[in-house]
Amino acid sequence: MRTDRRYLPGTLILETTYTTAAGQARVIDFMPPRGEAPDIVRIVEGVSGQVTLRSELIVRFDYGHIMPWVRHVDDARHFLAGPDALVLRTPAPTIGKDFTTLSELTVGPGERVPFVLTWFPSHLPVPQVVDPEAALQDTIVYWADWLESRQPGPPLDAAVEQSLLVLKSLTYAPTGGIVAAPTTSLPEVIGGVRNWDYRYCWLRDASLTLMAMLQAGYRTEAAAWEEWLLRAVAGSPNDVQIMYGIAGERRLEERELPWLSGFLDSRPVRVGNAASHQLQLDVYGEVLDAAYHARVYGVNGSDYNWALLRHLLTWLEDGWKQKDAGIWEVRGEPRHFTHSKVMAWVAFDRGVRMCEEFGLEGPVARWRAIRDEIHAEVLDRAWNPRLQAYTQTYDSDDLDASVLQMPIMGFLDAKDPRFVSTVAAMQQHLSVDGFLLRYHSDSQVDGLPAGEGVFLACSYWLVEVLALQDRYDEACALFERLLALRNDLGLCSEEYDPRSQVLLGNFPQAFTHLALVEAAMTLSERQPYRTLCRQ
């Protein structure tokens, strides 16, 4: 049997074709636009011959811990446990065996058999039946309408369009929250312990996602995100978290699920994320950067939005001097991370620009002075003359690929001699088969056992930097190699193991897809996106 998969063009509707000696069948899977309740729809279609297919549905709630009560009502099976319920509707015959719902059917040319799985709160009535064929057409129209909502501009490369569809799919429509990935605990190394829950809204990842969408011509998400941000951080800016739940939830306590073995026996499986309580100074820069560029593109925030941003900057006036956990959320001792200080500079730079360019009120002179102070300190304390490189932290001998953000964010010119030598040092010491590690995990900076794959977003940053250094052929070659690492559907993971050629980490990963979009845009323009906006 041969299996082929693709997304229907311009959508995230999955089409899987099975070719056997007996014939060919097609399975179409999709999530329609949210109606009364969330649905997953499957349509099995015969293409040629007579093909027999067997399906298994194993329902467990509470992360596999609770077996549901199952009832067979007419052509539906109901699964209930505690607050949760599912209903499976299909005209295909189903039976229960060994706590599994089984179905076997044979389809011929033109025959279509639907399966609809719907979640609902167990104390409420069962939702209305969804018409699978109408839902399919509605879903096709939904994706087409979204792609067409883009502001006029040059055509998008297919890889960029695919990444934008993924980023849109990671946006929770009811609230505007943007998750980093839809999965938890897919390992950064097989059998390792670097297994984290990414099903939350990081201020960093969401802000950068908006930057990628704005860059590609999409505006609506920026307005929804700003409203989400206002709701999520309501209260004292001193209590801002680096991540929230999709509706703005704050309590994301991390716990382990010992009854689950994890992906390929990679334990522990975690729910929640303790990094939510960390200080990560860079998020202030990403939020201010996104807010500034939203205004550049005509998405004017409210007075409340600017008031919030001012409060964030007021806290940062002294807060930037603190040690933090950095962009990589290290679980070791806090440090003065270079990237964190650069992004604090970005926060004040964008605050100044919003006042100067859009007439907003703020202590511009004070912010300029702090911006200059940060810049001078980074150039002094992050530079290692022996390595001829800017390092991971102040007064350090360790390299870190996050420093590649310096020219991308406008902190330094990419052709600055010190930065050129920094890139050379990274390519020599952080490269594995031409792709970049974040840093050497055996340095003990993150308080975890060593071992992880190359971090794909970092290699996309390198693409941008090479282009900015007029090393265009190198940049394009690396970009093409990175595109080849996507799976057969064009989806990107967080990391990759060049030795085993395995995608690693939570999947699909917003951080990687947005880095792909920005790298593609930089290659097409040959100058950094943020520089273009300021001209």
pLDDT score of 156 more than 90 = no
- Please report which confidence band the pLDDT of residue 446 belongs to, taking 50, 70 and 90 as the band edges: confident
pLDDT value of position 101 = 96
- Please report which confidence band the pLDDT of residue 531 belongs to, taking 50, 70 and 90 as the band edges: very low
Mean pLDDT, residues 438-448 taken together: 80
Does an H or E element contain 41, and which? strand 39-49
Q: pTM for the complete prediction?
A: 0.95
CATH class of 2-125+134-141: mainly beta
Q: Are the C-beta atoms of 432 and 438 separated by less than 8 Å?
A: no
pLDDT value of position 533 = 41
Mean pLDDT, residues 5-14 taken together: 98
pLDDT score of 535 more than 60 = no
149-534 belongs to CATH 1.50.10.10: yes
Mean pLDDT, residues 194-212 taken together: 95
Mean pLDDT, residues 7-30 taken together: 98
Place of tokens 């064929």: 133
pLDDT score of 534 more than 60 = no
pLDDT score of 269 more than 70 = yes
d(CA 345, CA 153): 31
Partners of 89 in the β-ladder: 76, 116
Mean pLDDT, residues 101-117 taken together: 97
Helix (H, G, I), strand (E, B) or coil at 496: strand
pLDDT score of 264 more than 60 = yes
Distances (CA, A) of 135 to 32, 34, 130, 172, 219: 6, 10, 7, 19, 26
The rounded Cα 524 to chain-centroid distance in angstroms is 23
pLDDT digits (tens, 9 = 90+) for 328-354: 999 999 999 999 999 999 999 999 999
User: What are the boundaries of each domain within the chain?
Assistant: 2-125+134-141, 149-534
Which is nearest to 371 in space by CA: 393, 394, 390, 343? Answer: 343
pLDDT value of position 213 = 92
pLDDT value of position 528 = 54
In sign, the C-alpha dihedral spanning 200, 162, 204, 266 is positive
pLDDT score of 100 more than 80 = yes
Joined together, the tokens standing for residue 63 give 């992360």
Q: Are the C-beta atoms of 193 and 217 separated by less than 8 Å?
A: no
DSSP conformation class of 517: H
> Could you tell me what percent of the chain has a pLDDT over 90?
86
pLDDT score of 107 more than 70 = yes
Mean pLDDT of the chain: 94
Which is nearest to 225 in space by CA: 298, 280, 287, 312? Answer: 287
Which is nearest to 387 in space by CA: 379, 396, 377, 378? Answer: 396
pLDDT score of 487 more than 60 = yes
